[in-house]
Structure 1
């Protein structure tokens, strides 16, 4: 897709309209959605065989449901519950309580599940519909059906009715108070309830350190040593530009930075600037040069003549691999190893986020960003919430507004509400070149005018995927094992995109799988790998730290001095610095 220069655009009115629409649609293109439904509807209208099959299925489901109703009403036998028409999917926990097995609630649940299943049959398997449009229609219809789930309403939810009766309706009073409070905080631009208890520099991002370098795009933090001797080779973290870095330095008990410092590592962290309208023309290459490139140079100034062990999280990992591939072509890379947390380098199967990215959607996002110069955090949040609407939307409606209960705020939730913006030009380039066109994994992406390839990377990799990751599905992350020719240790952890990574020692109910792929090993599919790799209990951080030890120089040394001689940071300021505090 050709990049559109806003200064030459003759469609200013259209862009203004689209930008206004985007504030209502959470950044989702209505045109893209309509194209998907039109594709499906036209092909279904021209498929009489499929229509006949759907009619038969509808009749069959109605017959099964009516038979079930009769059995329930006449109390035939004692195993009516075992003769239900349909069972919910294993991940669907909405109807798992025993109360849903009693009349009339069992009928509500069975009717809804049968309807949901029929619509799935109607939407999928229509010949001629593009796979992307089928996925969009299937996903969107599922969200619409979730709206009318009987679990979402007072009169059709037995668990909710029981609580309401026991509390004399006080849960609904609290729920209304919660709703009004949330609406008020949202309208005033305030964070969620309870976030006031978490302060950056007080109980978040408290690992001691100094900002030793800064430019227009980053602050570079060097953390203070806590051991008399340290490993000779340092670690540099590259977080995603969409997130504040302190997910890796949350509270003291689950700070990855503190974990490493306490184990004798010299740790550096990139803290990204939160871009404003003035930064609209920052490019992806600016993030490569001013971000990762300058950080590597400055770390080498502090600890010269040593390899740097790099860590990239999510989009930060994608950015890091671009830099590593470019440096590898020069045959003098200072990168000693690469660790990737939930980071994709091949976007051909990027999971359900692909539902929101096509040419129409990218054009729509560009119009939104063109008006304000960036993509706002609220405009990104809508898509992520829709991906897990049962968990992030309807469960909250039920829990906060109908049951009148508040889930206590924790440090990870506080961090999650503190996202950053993305500049117009850079994000457009990322969406078009990396996400949609998949230029990097297909050897078309250029850094400084030269094409780069994952196959050029020759340092060892430690790659972490998460079982329940909706943002970077682990099977997509896994592909790097076969896109590179180097040694790759792949680890699959329990949990999701964030909670799976923050898996400190002592965290309950954590497990992982891990294996090493040598250069000469043959291809093994993700499913075969999962089947053949045993489960280990506990935190994967310990596994990773052992790997880091094996890649570092054996002899420990005295900690390096804090700061960089001649740095543009005239005087060292304390971590967490200034950029992380920007809103």
Structure 2
């Protein structure tokens, strides 16, 4: 026996031992997987997808179109068949010639297929091309359906695309060359690690599959996230009020209070120091307060929009006035908190309460006549399911909200991360934004249905008026000076609808800024990054398209432009204020307790 033979035997024994160890791990993980899946909550069909009525209507309309206009449909079918057959023949011809190379590839570029084997390997290239041809055929078939109203067509287009995205060959191990190559390179270790990641996610979420997007061990609130110095100076059953420590000798006399959405936690505006809007605002000389909402449990079942206004907004504003010894504050509302701020301002107008000097709205909808991309989830089939869910449990669990928003960007927030974690066994990245995205909150039953029915579906605030706090409030009664920032690619609060809502407000002093990027990145856009630009146009009487066409493009963040607007409405400079006063002792250091313990 030679030295090489001995080395081969050792290597072979090592590989066998490694394989046996991996098989033992797989067996153990499989048992844990089955146990975790058995704990999964039952999810009502209305929360799983659109009503079957949508597909029945689509099928009926398609058949009607086939009868009335067969030539068009046959033409599209023949085009699809022709491309598929031509591709198959070209691939077979190359193989018959002994050439292991793909045929001509005229399919569009798609970042899901960035790995080189999708272009160079004939097997994987064939699968990719056929998938993209099939996807285009499905999209064309949907567009061919004409006997549907615009809302039904939008929903059919969206949910058909969801099915197409789900069936991408990248989502399946046998047809994902990158995952297969890694499995071979690691002797299957990547697949075992992926199974461990899958089991860990299922166990962490009681059997519900929620892909971990960020390394949860990499962040801790108050240590490397939400680190701007400040203190909790007031607390009730709805919120903690945080006042931030000044960093300038003097500050503007009018304090600034920020109302973040209670669909998520407030520290999206205070992630790392480099991208913290709160830290930046403090550095500009503002006395900054923020509301940290309680994360409700079933005991908050009957908490309504009126409670958020009376026990949230109005009390918070009053406490800020007391702490700072002023008669007026400036207020910011982000997303649903901006919607509710507009309701509050209309109510204050009725009550002759002038406590808010000026208001800022971040990605806020007040006119829901066009609900944008998220509108596919706001029809009766889904909302009926949500109403049944919250009636039974008292809350809309954060699981449902997170899943809904993730499916609006499924390739980025579901399939892509799942491939990396479960097929390739990679650990999630230490990404602050994605960590925040996974730190969800619940919604009270009463409030959720009021919002979905009265505002989103019935658009009452922008039309007949919305009932809240024992009265009816109207959008025209939002009359304080205002600045609204919308985001160009926002998939949650469509910027055109945001603009339309601002147009309907009664304020004479209106500023509208359109930031590039989306719902989060367009807002959390510090000047230091010099990343996304923004558009302005002072003519608010124009149609939304005319406003955009005539708008001036500016490089860089909108933050300094907002500062220039806000500073003019914040009064003279006064000595800096430390958090709290004799009647508002420090209850806890920022970021407080509600954001951590709930």
Place the TM-score, normalised by the shorter chain, in its bin.
0.7 to 0.9
The whole-number CA distance in structure 2 between the counterparts of 1:408 and 1:531 is: 39
Secondary structure of residue in 2 paired with 1:478 = helix
Matches within 5 A, 1:325-344: 325-344=346-365
Cα offset, 1:306, TM superposition:
4.0
Tell me whether 1:261 sits opposite 2:304 in the alignment. Answer: no
Q: TM-score when scaled to structure 1?
A: 0.86
Contact 1:261–1:267 (CA under 8 A) maintained in structure 2: yes
Query: Aligned to 1:149, which of 141, 155, 168?
Result: 168
Matches within 5 A, 1:344-363: 344-363=365-384
Residue in 2 aligned with 1:54?
A: 73
Contact 2:462–2:501 (CA under 8 A) maintained in structure 1: no
Note the residue ranges of structure 2 that are not aligned, 5 or more in a row. Answer: 1-37
Tell me whether 1:498 sits opposite 2:513 in the alignment. Answer: no
Matches within 5 A, 1:179-578: 179-187=198-206, 194-485=215-506, 486-507=508-529, 509-517=531-539, 521-526=540-545, 528-553=546-571, 555-560=572-577, 562-563=579-580, 566=583, 572-578=587-593
- Which deviations, in whole Å up to 9, do the C-alpha atoms of 1:277-314 show, x marking residues without a partner? 11101111111111101111111112344431111111
The whole-number CA distance in structure 2 between the counterparts of 1:574 and 1:159 is: 47
The whole-number CA distance in structure 2 between the counterparts of 1:551 and 1:81 is: 64
Contact 2:496–2:544 (CA under 8 A) maintained in structure 1: no
Cα offset, 1:452, TM superposition:
2.3
Cα offset, 1:413, TM superposition:
1.9
Contact 1:227–1:264 (CA under 8 A) maintained in structure 2: yes
Would the alpha carbon gap of residues 361 and 177 (structure 1) be closer, same or farther in structure 2, given more than 3 Å must change? Answer: closer
Contact 1:222–1:267 (CA under 8 A) maintained in structure 2: yes
Cα offset, 1:415, TM superposition:
1.7
- Which deviations, in whole Å up to 9, do the C-alpha atoms of 1:114-151 show, x marking residues without a partner? 22222223223434323333333322222122222122
Would the alpha carbon gap of residues 549 and 67 (structure 1) be closer, same or farther in structure 2, given more than 3 Å must change? Answer: same
Would the alpha carbon gap of residues 299 and 50 (structure 1) be closer, same or farther in structure 2, given more than 3 Å must change? Answer: farther
The whole-number CA distance in structure 1 between the counterparts of 2:163 and 2:289 is: 46
Contact 1:28–1:356 (CA under 8 A) maintained in structure 2: no
Would the alpha carbon gap of residues 25 and 51 (structure 1) be closer, same or farther in structure 2, given more than 3 Å must change? Answer: farther
Contact 1:27–1:379 (CA under 8 A) maintained in structure 2: no
- Which deviations, in whole Å up to 9, do the C-alpha atoms of 1:334-377 show, x marking residues without a partner? 21211111111111212222111222322211111111110111
The whole-number CA distance in structure 2 between the counterparts of 1:99 and 1:475 is: 41
Cα offset, 1:566, TM superposition:
4.5
Would the alpha carbon gap of residues 29 and 39 (structure 1) be closer, same or farther in structure 2, given more than 3 Å must change? Answer: farther
Would the alpha carbon gap of residues 308 and 432 (structure 1) be closer, same or farther in structure 2, given more than 3 Å must change? Answer: same
Choose 55-64 or 441-450, whichever is displaced more.
441-450
Contact 1:152–1:398 (CA under 8 A) maintained in structure 2: yes
Query: Aligned to 1:175, which of 194, 205, 208?
Result: 194
How many residues align structurally? 551
Please say which structure displays the higher CA radius of gyration.
2
Contact 1:36–1:134 (CA under 8 A) maintained in structure 2: no
- Which deviations, in whole Å up to 9, do the C-alpha atoms of 1:73-121 show, x marking residues without a partner? 4469x9x999655435xxx422355543342333322222222222223
The whole-number CA distance in structure 2 between the counterparts of 1:563 and 1:355 is: 45
Contact 1:36–1:133 (CA under 8 A) maintained in structure 2: yes
Would the alpha carbon gap of residues 51 and 85 (structure 1) be closer, same or farther in structure 2, given more than 3 Å must change? Answer: farther
Cα offset, 1:49, TM superposition:
2.7
The whole-number CA distance in structure 1 between the counterparts of 2:516 and 2:45 is: 31
The whole-number CA distance in structure 2 between the counterparts of 1:558 and 1:441 is: 42
The whole-number CA distance in structure 1 between the counterparts of 2:327 and 2:197 is: 54
Would the alpha carbon gap of residues 399 and 483 (structure 1) be closer, same or farther in structure 2, given more than 3 Å must change? Answer: same
Choose 285-294 or 406-415, whichever is displaced more.
406-415
Contact 1:325–1:453 (CA under 8 A) maintained in structure 2: yes
Contact 1:239–1:314 (CA under 8 A) maintained in structure 2: yes
Tell me whether 1:43 sits opposite 2:45 in the alignment. Answer: no
Q: TM-score when scaled to structure 2?
A: 0.84
Query: Aligned to 1:108, which of 109, 127, 143?
Result: 127
Cα offset, 1:333, TM superposition:
1.6
Cα offset, 1:450, TM superposition:
3.3
Contact 2:252–2:574 (CA under 8 A) maintained in structure 1: yes
Tell me whether 1:579 sits opposite 2:598 in the alignment. Answer: no
The whole-number CA distance in structure 1 between the counterparts of 2:298 and 2:432 is: 29
Residue in 2 aligned with 1:10?
A: none
Secondary structure of residue in 1 paired with 2:342 = helix
Would the alpha carbon gap of residues 211 and 315 (structure 1) be closer, same or farther in structure 2, given more than 3 Å must change? Answer: same
Contact 2:525–2:531 (CA under 8 A) maintained in structure 1: no
Cα offset, 1:52, TM superposition:
5.3
Would the alpha carbon gap of residues 313 and 338 (structure 1) be closer, same or farther in structure 2, given more than 3 Å must change? Answer: same
The whole-number CA distance in structure 2 between the counterparts of 1:198 and 1:536 is: 34
Contact 1:219–1:271 (CA under 8 A) maintained in structure 2: yes
